[in-house]
Chain A
Amino acid sequence: MTSPISNRLPIAVSVLLAGLLLEAAPARAQTKAVSSFTIQVAGTASAVKTGLQETVAFSGPVIVTATVVTDPALGPTVTLFVDGRGVTGTGNKTKTTYVNNCIANLTRLFGATDVIQTTFAFFQDTAGGYMSAKTGLLTLNLTYNTTTQALTNVTASVGTP
């Protein structure tokens, strides 16, 4: 009969390597810094780029929450939670209201500054409006305190890619 222990030969090597792999164990020296900014953004989406019949002017709040986690083996990483769903748009001809789905989780490398461009879908605030969604662009300029790893400033703009 084949002993199930024969399964374990790779385990022996695994254990050996686990003991030798210095980066496999250090986990608990983690720090986490969470900071958040709410900023007002404004900008326009041109008809030429969206294919709409009109230019859409956007304004409203964007919430940026940065979670910076340090890892001795990998260096710090940033998870950004961006919520711009409070931003609304108005068409310059029809005065149609446009809403958006600007919400994103973004992984970023940590640094003193970071520039992020992320696209989002916006659409008429009507039933089924999402079927004709268009593409907007949110640009974020982030500044961190490299000691505390907290956000110290955020600026942003909205436009089209």
Chain B
Amino acid sequence: MSFPCSGLKNAILILMSSLGVLAPRALADSVPTGLPPSPTFGITKFSQPMPRLDVLPRNPVSTLTPAPTAESNQTQQTVDPALGGGSGPIEGRPPGPIWSHQEFTRFPPQLAVDVTMEGAKVNTTYNPGVPASLNSNINPATPFPPRFHPQLPDQGPLALWTFNGTLPPKLIIGRYAQPLLVREHNKLPVDGNQNGGFGRHSISTHEHNGHHGAENDGFTGAYFWPNQFYDYHWPIVLAGWRTINPNATDPMAATPNETGTGKTNVAGDWHETMSTHWFHDHMFSFTSQNVYKGMAGMFNIYSAIDRGNEAINDGVNLRLPSGTAKSYANLDYDVNILLADKAWDNHGQLAMDIFDFDGFLGDRMTVNLVDNPFFEVEARKYRFRILNAAVSRFFKLALSDGSPMIQIANDGNLLPHPVPLTELDEIGIAERYDIVIDFSRYTPGPNTKVWLVNLTQQTNGKRPDTDLSLADALQGSGNDPVVGKFLEFRVVRAPSAPDQSQVPDPLIPNPTLPANTRTRTFEFDSGGSQPTLANNQEPFVAATPGSRAEVTAFVGPWGIKTDDDGGSLNADYGRISAGPGYGTREVWHLNNGGGGWDHPIHIHFEEGQILDRNGDPNQVPPWEKGRKDVYRLRPGGTVTITMQFRDFGGMYMEHCHNTVHEDNAMLLRWEIDNNGAPFVRPLPTPISTPQGVTFVPPDDILPTAF
């Protein structure tokens, strides 16, 4: 991998700063990015429309060539010399029965999403899923350039890597009982040096937070290479489907029919219904760079209860703001919002400081990857599915006039009760807040505007500095250019059709929990060690010969301590740190063990519930009383959660979703175990190369894991 001049420059700056050569404020002109301030190119805020996400086509599975298979397709192809030459499999998924799609026969894919990961190019097939009148009059037939603003240059193919290589970011539509086969082709440069200064051309895509078999979870070590594809099978099932409502008799557990107003029962616990997901790269040690580079999209999951049709009144459908034309998934008044702070260089190309292990902050705010846009709305209720897709930044949102919003979901899960708020909580990285804003309080007109405002000032990747009052935030912050207004709502007209949407109470009550079987404690801190490596310098040498820890282990400033008394450990995806029994529920204490930092902790696979914060159930706010998959610790804080481990198995992850912390070793592997059945214990670790995946035994199993 090459290090661009800007990277070297910053490395030198950081080194000099650390050594006291520079006074701390010598970098003041580059706060908060660690880079020179992004040039504005004369941009004024709110001068371009916010595009809806680009809905990916869903095609018959028969359109895929070759046809998808339960086990990885190991048909050989010639491997580019830049990748080592020889031959290797066309599919990068690890081979054999362990990485075979679980329940592929029971849940055969019904639709296919065929997508690439490649460098930036013009989008000529933009599908916002709504007419232009509901997309701020963006003409989808007009080629959509890969740029953050019309006054900025196009992003080059080495600067921006996205799904299909285009903007806007992608949206996948799914519904329960309609399994998807997402085939992702890696069309990134074969030369790993051709990365525009950051980013890794081997990739793994995590469906955050899919209830899928681990082979489809985007495991950090199950990455694939340029010219390969990976078939992800997303069965889209309700958790508990093996044991709760297994015969699909509960009418609340249902999926919309493809057309019409009907629905079809499905197995599982309807209290586990999920709604707003996203998908993003999870490449070991390079997640922050790859996600920042554009490898992120959103995934809306529809159910009979959260149908995306506000008119169907069947006693199950909650009729949340959406639309009426289609059976389900009406996007008219249901809008995905992907927040991400970015920075660019003097040429307007995406830039990142990869040497600051505290985290990376951008100095420009983007919404759906365009800079500080506007969005036209009608004077009625809208649902916004807000995703924090930043690397290290937290956002606290309010409307500029202080008007109330109603939070209906957290991390994509509808809350037990709607929560009216005038200021949302700080949204941690990877968290999703679904909110309803009622614009009927405004009189439509050319000058009727209200803004979404960020109240949180952050100048260091470790944590937010302070939450400003709305009045102060509207004045902006000299320390943080991302404070203040960033999205302008223009209330342009009365509703084009009657608003039939509702925000009922209750929404989705929490599932009933079975008995707890075990309690574990995880402490997230710095100063971790890496016992699976014998040294901390190139060439890395595994402490246990043959374990391949030199591939799976990483050395960084961050770590996680478990119940094992071995101290805080750096990430090693060859190490098994926890092995909950299949079909059990456990209670996990997540403790912030170091400094004033903050860590939004993500645990893959099944949604959990927060039992207490800082030991006090009363400190769990109403918007965290549903199901979650990201648990923000806060400085010095603790969170107690409970999770169930059922339906599928394999190796999953737990990590800080400040992805710089994650990449610099705050990650661990856990796996669902049943003492050998139905899943292998312990699972062998995949070692990925362009020439194929081999397996090695775990190089470390913590004594307290199983």
Closest to B597 in A: A71
In the complex, the answer to whether B557 meets A21 with C-beta atoms within 8 Å is yes
Q: Does B637 contact A (CB under 8 A)?
A: yes
A8/B406 contact (C-beta < 8 A), A25-B557, A106-B467 known: no
Contacting A at CB under 8 A, from B433-471, are: 438, 456, 460, 462-467, 469-471
Q: Which residues of B contact A34 (CB under 8 A)?
A: 614
Partner of B15, one of A20, A69, A73: A20
The reply to whether B594 and A28 contact each other, CB–CB distance below 8 Å, is yes
Residues of B with C-beta under 8 A to A106: 467
Say whether B555 contacts A2, CB under 8 Å: no
Of the stretches A11-19, A37-45, A89-97, A151-159, the one at the interface is: A11-19
Q: Would A1 and B420 be within 8 Å (CB), given that A105-B634, A161-B402 are in contact? A: no
Number of A-B contacts (CB under 8 A): 205
Stretch from B240-248, B299-307, B668-676, B682-690 that touches the partner: B682-690
A109 lies within 8 A of chain B by Cβ:
yes
Are B192 and A4 in contact, CB atoms less than 8 angstroms apart? Answer: no
Residue numbers in B under 8 Å from A5 (CB-CB): 539-540, 550-551
Contact with A along B573-607 (1 / 0, CB 8 A): 00000000000000000000111110000000000
B119-127, B361-369, B487-495, B617-625 - the one binding chain A: B617-625
Decide: A130 near B556, CB < 8 A? Known: A18-B357, A74-B462, A79-B637: no
Whether the pair A130, B406 counts as a contact (CB closer than 8 A) is yes
CA distance A140 to B622 in the complex (A): 22
Minimum C-beta distance from A112 to chain B (A): 16
The contact of B404 among A14, A76, A121, by CB within 8 Å, is A121
Distance to closest chain B CB from A111 (angstroms) = 11
- Within the assembled complex, what's the spacing in Å between the Cα atoms of A124 and B539? 67
A35 at the interface (CB under 8 A from B): no
Chain A residues within 8 Å of B438, by CB: 131
**Residue B403 interfacial (CB < 8 Å):** yes
Asked whether, in the complex, the Cβ of B557 is within 8 Å of the Cβ of A107, the reply is: no
Q: Which of A30, A130, A135 contacts B596 (CB 8 A)?
A: A30
Q: Tell me the bound Cα distance from A83 to B419 in angstroms.
A: 14
Mask of B191-204 contacts with A, CB within 8 angstroms, 1/0 = 01000000010100
A15-B555, A21-B18, A128-B505 given as contacts; is B420 within 8 A of A8 (CB)? no
Interface centre among A67, A72, A81, A106 (most CB of B within 10 A): A106
Is B285 part of the contact surface with A, judged by Cβ < 8 Å?
yes
| Alpha-carbon gap, A5 to B462, bound state (A) | 29
Chain B min CB distance to A125 (Å) = 13
B636/A24 in contact, CB under 8 A: no
Name the B residues within 8 Å of A48 (CB-CB): none
Q: Please measure, in the bound complex, the distance between the C-alpha atom of A117 and the C-alpha atom of B402, giving whole angstroms.
A: 12
Among the interface residues A24, A27, A67, A109, which one has the most CB atoms of the partner chain B within 10 A? A27
Q: In the complex, what residues of B have CB within 8 A of residue A2's CB? A: 82-84, 192, 225, 689-690
Does B86 belong to the interface (CB within 8 Å)? yes
| 0 or 1 for each of B336-378: is its CB under 8 Å from A? (1 = yes) | 0000000000000000001101100000000000000000000
Q: How many residues of A contact B (CB 8 A)?
A: 67
CA distance A69 to B422 in the complex (A): 27
**B563 at interface (Cβ–Cβ under 8 A)?**
no
Flag whether B525 is at the interface (Cβ < 8 A). yes
- Please, how many angstroms separate the alpha-carbon atoms of A32 and B621 in the complex? 22
User: Given known contacts A1-B689, A27-B525, A28-B594, is B354 in contact with A109 (CB within 8 Å)?
Assistant: no
Residues on A with C-beta less than 8 A from B550 are 5, 8
CA distance A9 to B650 in the complex (A): 30
Q: B496 an interface residue at 8 Å Cβ cutoff?
A: no
Q: Does A52 interact with chain B (Cβ within 8 Å)?
A: no
8 A Cβ contacts from A98-151 to B: 101, 103-109, 116-121, 123, 127-128, 130-131, 133-135
Is residue B398 within 8 Å, beta carbon to beta carbon, of the partner chain? yes
Which of chain B's residues has its CB closest to A2's CB?
Answer: B84
Inter-chain contacts of A135 with B (CB < 8 A): 402-404, 422
Q: Are B456 and A107 in contact (CB under 8 A)?
A: yes
User: Does chain B have a CB within 8 A of A59?
Assistant: no
Tell whether, in the assembled complex, residue A25 and residue B526 are in contact, meaning their CB atoms are under 8 Å apart.
Answer: yes
Q: A18-B357, A121-B420, A130-B406 are in contact. Are A74 and B556 (CB under 8 A)?
A: no
Query: How far in angstroms is the closest Cβ of chain B from A40?
Result: 19
Give the distance to chain A from B671, nearest Cβ to Cβ, in Å.
21
Annotate B7-18 by CB proximity to A: 1 below 8 A, 0 otherwise: 000010011001
On whether the beta carbons of A121 and B466 are closer than 8 Å, the reply is no
Contact with A along B414-441 (1 / 0, CB 8 A): 0000111111011000000000001000
Does chain B have a CB within 8 A of A77?
A: yes
Contact for B18 among A22, A107, A118, CB less than 8 A:
A22
A3 to B593, CA, bound (A): 36
Interchain CB contact (< 8 A) of B556 among A18, A20, A28: A18
Residues of the A chain whose Cβ atoms lie less than 8 Å from the Cβ of B463: 74, 77, 107
Min CB distance A76 to B, Å, is 7
Bound CA–CA A5/B285 (angstroms)? 13
Partner of A101, one of B200, B420, B525: B420
Interface contact B426-A76, CB-CB below 8 Å: no
Please name the residue on chain B nearest to A25 by beta carbon.
B527
| Distance of A2 Cα from B358 Cα, bound (Å) | 31
CB A70 to nearest CB in B, in angstroms, measures: 7
* A1-B422 contact in complex given A11-B555, A17-B357, A69-B635, C-beta closer than 8 Å: no
Note all chain A residues with C-beta closer than 8 A to B503: 130-131
Task: Establish whether residues A12 and B19, one from each chain, have CB atoms under 8 Å apart when the complex forms.
Answer: no
Contact B555 A69 (CB under 8 A): no
Shortest distance in angstroms between A149's beta carbon and chain B's nearest beta carbon?
11
Question: Do residues B11 and A13 form an inter-chain contact, with CB atoms below 8 A?
Answer: yes
Once the chains are docked, how many angstroms separate the CA of A39 from the CA of B19?
A: 48
Take A17-B15, A21-B357 as given contacts and tell me if A4 and B551 are in contact as well, using a CB distance cutoff of 8 Å.
Answer: yes
Measured CB to CB, the nearest residue on chain A to B284 is A7
Contacts of A161 in B (CB 8 A): 402, 470-471
Chain A residues within 8 Å of B398, by CB: 119
Closest to A30 in B: B595
Contacts of A81 in B (CB 8 A): 619
The reply on B664 being an interface residue by CB < 8 A is yes
B residues less than 8 Å from A76 (CB atoms): 596
- Shortest distance from the beta carbon of A113 to any chain B beta carbon, whole Å: 14
Closest chain-A Cβ to B413's Cβ sits at a distance in Å of 19
Further contacts, 18 of them, CB under 8 A, given A18-B556, A32-B636, A104-B425? A2-B84, A12-B538, A14-B555, A18-B664, A20-B19, A21-B18, A22-B18, A26-B526, A69-B595, A69-B636, A101-B421, A101-B622, A117-B469, A119-B423, A130-B505, A133-B404, A134-B404, A135-B422
11 contacts between A and B (CB under 8 A): A4-B687, A14-B555, A22-B18, A25-B526, A74-B460, A79-B634, A105-B621, A120-B422, A127-B505, A131-B438, A135-B402
Measured CB to CB, the residues of B under 8 A from A are: 1, 3, 11, 14-15, 18-19, 79, 82-86, 192, 200, 202, 225, 284-285, 354-355, 357-358, 398, 402-404, 406, 418-423, 425-426, 438, 456, 460, 462-467, 469-471, 503, 505, 525-527, 536-540, 550-551, 554-557, 593-597, 614, 618-619, 621-622, 634-637, 664, 687-691
The 7 closest A-B pairs by CB, nearest first: A71-B596, A1-B84, A27-B594, A27-B526, A69-B636, A2-B84, A121-B420
